[in-house]
Amino acid sequence: MDQRKDWPDAGRVVWLTGGLVAYNNPGPNVEICAGSNGRAVHEFTIESYGHLFEALKRQGFSIIGATFVVHQDELDGLRLAEFRMAGSASGWSLWNIEQQWRQIAFAASKQDNMPLLDISSRIAIGLEYSQLRLYDLAFAYGLQLHGHWHKNQALEYQTFSDLNSRQVYKAIHALFWELAVLRDTLAEFSAMYCFSLGRVKRLSNLTKLLQKNRHADPIAAEILRITDKSLNGWLSRFTCYRNFFTHSAPMESATGIAFTVQDVRKINDALMVPQIYYPLPGNIEDLTRERSHGIFYSSMAALVNSLKHRPDRSLDPDALEYLHFCLNSLVELTKTLIAHSPISPAPIRFTAEDIVGEIKWNSAL
């Protein structure tokens, strides 16, 4: 019996942590590769189309997102296949929330509410761009794992630097920047529609106002909690990383001479797989204070000595996994703000009045 006959005509590329990639073409076979089109490290089968993601999780893999290939034009490189970020638990929470913000923007346009149209559109775009930046980072990890393991033996731990390293650093910096833009846009919406504070353009300005004028709204307490350094708030830590890489030193020179790390991950009792690791310094607050006092290393000997430090995943989080967590956390904050919109999301329906100009049908698509 050919199971592919009852299978949707769609291919899926699942981007996993560490640069691993899972491929599932129409049918039950799933192949785990070391990077995009890299060497296979594991294979298994699934019972049905809908079992792919749960099967990956059961085997011990962590999912960043998935690309869905549904048209020949996507295979031919004529248009991009759709990528969706995986939610922290399951599903495609970012995609769902983005659609609701687009619906708010559409409803605002129908009521000529231009301020709401403007900011809800920017929130939707911020979610979309952040998701695409996350794809860029997952792809860069996969490209590097593919290139490094193509001829090399996977070791328990090794450091290296190659021509792909800059692409990963660039993607990390780009995602930090994109998330910071989204963070400040959410602060602007909160100030206008949750707390009636007028136009606030930055999160730092909003937190100062909330600390000065306490609000009963639970969102105010949540914003103050996640931005509180003394409580190790996740948004406070994110901002510290972003500010350090923007104003003090790029990530690749944050703690001295940078090297990419290749280590291994135990997926289950029988499988060990190679992975890429870009450690974010766990002591970022200490580094920020030290940098503020002047030159970070007093001599070349001190700089070279920094190479002896071996990062620890339990203390120094991996950049891809950390930024995936941050984007999911921003999505959850964005979700809570929907209820504060003065206009509820409305299904996007186009009528003859919305169509400007002639409509032409392209039979080639």
- How far is it, in rounded angstroms, from Cα 10 to Cα 16? 19
Q: What is the largest CA-CA distance in the chain?
A: 72
- How far is it, in rounded angstroms, from Cα 49 to Cα 28? 7
Give the range among 128-137, 226-235, 243-252 with minimum mean pLDDT. 243-252
**Tens digit of pLDDT for each residue in 49-66?**
999 999 999 999 999 999
Asked if pLDDT for residue 258 goes beyond 90, the answer is: no
pLDDT score at 1: 43
Q: Which residue has the higher pLDDT, 339 or 353?
A: 339
Give the range among 199-203, 231-235, 296-300, 333-337 with minimum mean pLDDT. 296-300
Contact between 159 and 259 under an 8 Å Cβ cutoff? The reply is yes
Give the range among 1-5, 75-79, 180-184, 308-312 with minimum mean pLDDT. 1-5
Asked if pLDDT for residue 9 goes beyond 80, the answer is: yes
User: If residue 101 lies in a helix (H) or strand (E), which one and from where to where?
Assistant: helix 93-110
Contact between 47 and 276 under an 8 Å Cβ cutoff? The reply is no
**Tens digit of pLDDT for each residue in 302-351?**
666 666 678 888 899 999 999 999 999 999 999 999 999 999 998 887 77
Domain locations along the chain = 9-85, 93-340
CB atoms within 10 A of CB 333: 18
Q: Give the mean pLDDT of 12-41.
A: 94
The model's confidence at residue 3, banded by pLDDT at 50, 70 and 90, is: low
Q: Which residue has the higher pLDDT, 2 or 281?
A: 281
Q: Give the mean pLDDT of 168-196.
A: 96
Residue 63, strand partner residues: 16
Is 27 exposed, middle or buried, given 0-12, 13-18 or 19+ CB atoms closer than 10 A? middle
Question: For residue 148, which amino acid is it?
Answer: H
pLDDT score at 271: 86
pLDDT score at 294: 67
C-alpha distances in Å from residue 41, one per residue of 54, 195, 267: 19, 52, 11
Going by the DSSP 8-state scheme, the letter that residue 279 receives in this structure is: B
Q: Give the mean pLDDT of 153-173.
A: 89
Asked if pLDDT for residue 86 goes beyond 70, the answer is: yes
Q: What percent of the chain has pLDDT over 90?
A: 63
The region, left, alpha or beta by phi > 0 then psi within -120 to 50, assigned to residue 84 is beta
Q: Which residue has the higher pLDDT, 8 or 115?
A: 115
pLDDT score at 149: 82
The model's confidence at residue 287, banded by pLDDT at 50, 70 and 90, is: confident
Asked if pLDDT for residue 172 goes beyond 70, the answer is: yes
pTM comes to: 0.91
Q: Give the mean pLDDT of 102-112.
A: 95
Question: For residue 252, which amino acid is it?
Answer: E
